[in-house]
Chain A
Amino acid sequence: MAETHSLQDMRQQAAIAAKVFIQRDYTNGTVCQFQTKFPSELETRIDKQQFEETVRTLNNLYAEAEKLGSQSYIEGCLACLTAYTVFLCMETHYEKILKKIAKYIQEQNDKIYAPRGLLLTDPIERGLRVIEVTIFEDRSLTR
């Protein structure tokens, strides 16, 4: 079976077999979107639909975070008026959505990915460049 990578976090009992990186989808500019293309390494681990659903939801959440809506306008005006001191007390709209995303990813991991030996890493930890999917080796199966 795959050896554990020295850099791998050993918090999981299962050893890490591989990592898949879902790249950003730049077809619409620099808006934060991730590719929904199903990576081949996950073919044996999870349903395509399930995975794409996860990525699509994440994309929607990021789109909402970056949306130029009334919330962001108000936030900007308030920040200007208070000489940006409001940032010390208030959480920005984007941060709120990021928290929502973190919760969503956690929930997806718990419900769907961990039982399949996968783990999603919040892309914010990678600078919103990739979604890292860690694949754990499956000792129960002979390869």
Chain B
Amino acid sequence: MPGGGSSKSGGRGPSSSPLPHAVVPPSRPLRPSRYVPVSAATFFLVGSTTLFFCFTCPWLSERFSVAVPIYNGVIFLFVLANFCMATFMDPGIFPRAEEDEDKEDDFRAPLYKTVEIRGIQVRMKWCSTCRFYRPPRCSHCSVCDNCVEDFDHHCPWVNNCIGRRNYRYFFLFLLSLTAHIMAVFGFGLLFILYHRQNIDRLHAIVTLAVMCVAGLFFIPVAGLTGFHIVLVARGRTTNEQVTGKFRGGVNPFTNGCWKNVSHVLCSSQAPRYLGRKKCVQSVFVQPPFLRPQLTEAQLAAKILDNGIQGDLHRSKSSLEMMESQSCDAEPPPPPKPELRYPGIARGNTEECSLLNKAPPTPTMYKYRPTYSPSKNHTALTHAYANQLSRGESVGSARDSSSSTSSLLQANQQPGFRSQPSLDQRDTSSDRVGEGGGGGGAGGERREVGGGGIPGYSLGGRSYPSFSDPTVLAGVASRSSSSTHTSAGAAHVSEATTTSASFKSLANQTPPPHHPSRNGSLSYDSLLAGGDDFDKEVVGSVVPEVSTGRPCTPATVGYSSPFLSSQQRDPEMHSQSPHHHHRTTYHHPFLHRSSSSTSSSPPPPPERERLLGEPHAGAHALPASQTSSTPSSSAQPPPHHHHHHHHHHHHSHHHHHHSSSTSRPPRFAAPHAPPHHAYPYRTRSTDTPLGSSSTSTTHPSRSPYPPPLGKSLSYSSAAAAEMQYRLVRKASASAGANAAGVGGGGGGSGGSGGMGGGGGGGGGGIQTLKDDLIQMKPLSRTNGSQPFSSTSSCSAPSSPSHPVSMSAQPGVPYLNAALTSSPPHKPKGVAVKKVTGVGGTTYEISV
């Protein structure tokens, strides 16, 4: 059903359940257009059936049997009951999270968090409106402005979201309506056949009219019914189907056909979350409190941990802020120093616990370039120098040692960052350098990918871990080892694996390892890397995205850690609701950094030099994360090479979200992206953009051009070539939906819902996977090809931009891309060519 589309109210739809006991948004403006489809549906249904009962049934009951109207009556009653339940029942709306749940984390937390579900990595996206990480299968409906559990789609015919609680009724409504239409049509035909002689009687005419209406509605209704029968049998939601999440892959939510059907039809009615009677806690808590006995080991551990724990938390905070990938439009405020509860080691906010949690749910800092806290600032600086010497597109410029140093000072990072990281970095840099030397666009891209990582961390970020070759290797191996059936799934899982590996790697370094340890540094790296990834991944638009986002070599992205998440975020968000697509495309961490760079901090001077375009202040220290302008603009170069290959895909995806143009909004941040892609979640309120729930409010445009980081991430995503395709596909579909290109595109009701938030959420997993795949070792470029083809984004909904996944192997693509300016031009978007390091030309959508 075509997405109802239009009205995005601040609150919830009229048919949603009562207001939550939690924060209640102000009443939404009345939107009469939302009620047109449901009114029409009701009118036709009730009107036609009434006419049928009045004009046709009397004769039928006399002529044949009284069972005829009784049968029709029962069926009609069933139709009405299910219609009412589908319309008025709360689909499973999540109440807004209370403020305590995210606290300061939203500045630091990544945009995505990965969980493993039955062996498959699934990405959970941060919902900036609802302030929590969306559970799997949850999506934010832009029409209703709510996150809905097991989101299927927003159905305009019932003017309600279809989710966990009312899917059964919607499904039964479709089944019963099909049966009802068939019955009405059949009995009407019978009537007409017996009244051929006196066809001009009123009864006959009315019956003919009713038959016409029934016949007209039968085709779409039956089609939709068949579609949902297949979905139920497969255990998928409309959202997942149209965004192609599990295309070619494994659906982790299926339990087999029989169990899926019985779950839909026979499970107990799920509870409502909103409007519950709040139970009053009658427990009285008063000290003194009992305490458990501490063991010697525990005591010893406590002693050792003292100080570091605090530092970790602090650093983590700042870092996450930078890398936050949320699509909040507003730039996140500067990292908060502290703790709401000084007495307790911070970090245990909801997100914290998520982030710190055990392996089963590793947090994936997609955009966070840094993952090895052990790297210190100096190491980064050195690496940066190395990078530069190699002539790499060192977005690492972003490394801006200066910025990092300042950051370092800001954070009192523990001194365990030591030289070893530097060495590692050098190694990786070397690696990167060689890769780059391999040269040519492809080489560059590849190296960017590889080097991007190192460069990323090098970028003066305190997350040298990124550049850590071991990390990269680990990631690569992980991604390569991941064997996902579906390309999409594979990509996602790989991506998640990769990204997860980063985070876990980072976390594995010195004990209180906290990715955010180098608060400032991590921030930078986050900015540089995170954004890029985010944006990149989103990409089906990848190519576009890369343009949008500073696709400069990873280093670039890194170089402007300061670009900060703000810049990145807007970009990222603007990228599209299918943010995830993009991110998957690019190296998660790379992406992040780049995106982050987009934020306020001016890009490092080197970056400018490299990119050939002035970055106003892109490299400014993270401190200024002002507006999150899509830093993507700054990073067009890296995306260039991607562009011409994927441009069309990219643009599609890219725009679906932020801009309608094919060009990735990232770049066009200043103009375009309706939402900026923040690498991190910002606390600032984001006015949910119509297209995506995650897209933050305004397309925060950073004062600086997109951070190099973006391009970096893009380049680093060399391996992500495959993912690019996949992402593109995903984003194309997602984007299309999101952008409301087809509000009604294909997915019927799904489109609307999907466009709103479903697209973003749905694509997420796929893009994620894509990203992972891309992240795979650059050497795998060829192998990656299949992935792209399998990109799950099948978006039946009308992607405005045809997703054309070029089936070129990643590497060749990169080479080609790098060497030649993208042949494609973003549709209707001005493209600015930027020369990056190594002679790569990138197209930036302007």
Chain A residues close to B by CB (< 8 Å): 1-3, 5, 7, 11-14, 16-30, 35, 37, 39-41, 43-47, 65-66, 68, 71-73, 75-76, 79-80, 83-84, 87, 92-95, 98, 102, 106, 109-110, 113-119, 121-122, 124-130, 132, 135-141, 143
Contacts and interface: CB of A to CB of B under 8 A. Distances in A.
B67 interface: no
Interface in B347-371: 348-350, 352-354, 356-358, 360-361
Contacts of A113: 283
Nearest to A70: B266
B303 interface: no
Given A23-B361, A45-B292, A73-B266, A17 B118 contact: no
Interface stretch (B90-98, B490-498, B616-624, B690-698): B90-98
B271 A116 contact: no
B718 interface: no
B477 to A, nearest CB: 23
Q: Is the interface of B mostly helix, strand, loop or mixed?
A: loop
Contacts, number: 213
B343 A1 contact: yes
A114 B169 CA distance: 42
B276 interface: yes
B140 to A, nearest CB: 13
A141 B287 CA distance: 9
Contact of B343 (A13, A17, A21, A68): A17
A127 B165 CA distance: 13
Contacts of B85: 84
Interface string B109-148: 0000001111000100000000010011100000000000
Given A30-B150, A135-B344, A94 B350 contact: no
Contacts of A125: 21, 95, 276, 278-279
Nearest to B343: A2
Given A18-B341, A23-B354, A29-B118, A138 B281 contact: no
A27 B117 contact: yes
A75 B268 contact: yes
A44 B268 contact: no
A140 B289 contact: yes
B283 A124 contact: no
Contact of A21 (B265, B291, B298, B350): B350
Contacts of A95: 269, 271
Interface string B168-199: 01001000000000000000000000000000
Contacts of B287: 14, 117, 136, 138-140
Given A23-B361, A138-B288, 19 more contacts: A12-B285, A13-B285, A18-B340, A21-B353, A22-B353, A26-B361, A68-B262, A75-B269, A83-B77, A83-B80, A95-B269, A106-B283, A109-B283, A114-B284, A114-B285, A116-B290, A122-B279, A127-B95, A136-B285
B78 A83 contact: yes
Given A2-B344, A30-B253, A140-B289, A25 B279 contact: no
B14 interface: no
Contact of B353 (A20, A109, A121, A140): A20
Contacts of A110: 283
A121 B276 CA distance: 14
Contacts of B348: 18-21, 39-41
A71 B269 CA distance: 11
A35 B357 CA distance: 9
A114 B353 CA distance: 22
A29 B117 CA distance: 6
Contacts of B360: 25, 27, 35
Contact of A87 (B269, B352, B353): B269
B620 to A, nearest CB: 32
B353 A129 contact: no
B268 A66 contact: yes
B268 A65 contact: yes
Contacts of B266: 68, 72-73, 76
Contacts of A3: 342
Contacts of A37: 357-358
B289 A45 contact: yes
Q: Which of B267, B357, B358 has the most CB of A within 10 A?
A: B267
B158 to A, nearest CB: 15
B81 A83 contact: yes
Nearest to B169: A84
A5 B340 contact: yes
Contacts of B135: 24, 26, 30, 129
B345 A41 contact: yes
A27 B118 CA distance: 5
Contacts of B282: 106
A134 B845 CA distance: 49
B345 A40 contact: yes
Interface residues of B, number: 75
Query: What 3 A-B pairs are tightest by C-beta distance, nearest first?
Result: A117-B289, A2-B343, A18-B344
A29 B268 CA distance: 17
Contact of B94 (A84, A114, A127, A141): A127
Contact of A44 (B136, B252, B294): B294
B269 to A, nearest CB: 4
B402 to A, nearest CB: 36
A70 to B, nearest CB: 10
B27 interface: no
Nearest to B288: A140
B217 interface: no
B286 A11 contact: no
Contacts of A139: 287
7 contacts: A21-B354, A27-B116, A28-B118, A29-B136, A75-B269, A92-B271, A119-B283
Contacts of B44: none
A97 B384 CA distance: 59
B270 interface: yes
B361 A29 contact: no
Contacts of B150: 30
B267 A66 contact: yes
A14 B263 contact: no
B257 to A, nearest CB: 14
A46 B78 CA distance: 53
A94 B272 CA distance: 10
A82 to B, nearest CB: 9
A23 B95 contact: no
B281 A109 contact: yes
A125 B350 CA distance: 15
A2 B286 contact: no
A46 B292 CA distance: 5
A67 to B, nearest CB: 8
A76 B344 contact: no
B473 to A, nearest CB: 27
A119 to B, nearest CB: 6
A74 to B, nearest CB: 9
A72 to B, nearest CB: 4
A92 B298 CA distance: 46
A122 B298 CA distance: 30
A114 to B, nearest CB: 5
A44 B95 CA distance: 32
A140 B287 CA distance: 7
Q: Which of A18, A27, A80, A136 has the most CB of B within 10 A?
A: A18
B285 A2 contact: no
B291 A18 contact: no
A30 B136 contact: yes
B99 A7 contact: yes
Contacts of A83: 77-78, 80-81
A30 B287 CA distance: 38
Contact of B291 (A5, A45, A76): A45
A47 B238 CA distance: 45
Contacts of B345: 40-41
A26 B122 contact: yes
B62 interface: no
A68 to B, nearest CB: 6
B218 interface: no
Interface string B327-345: 0000000000000111111
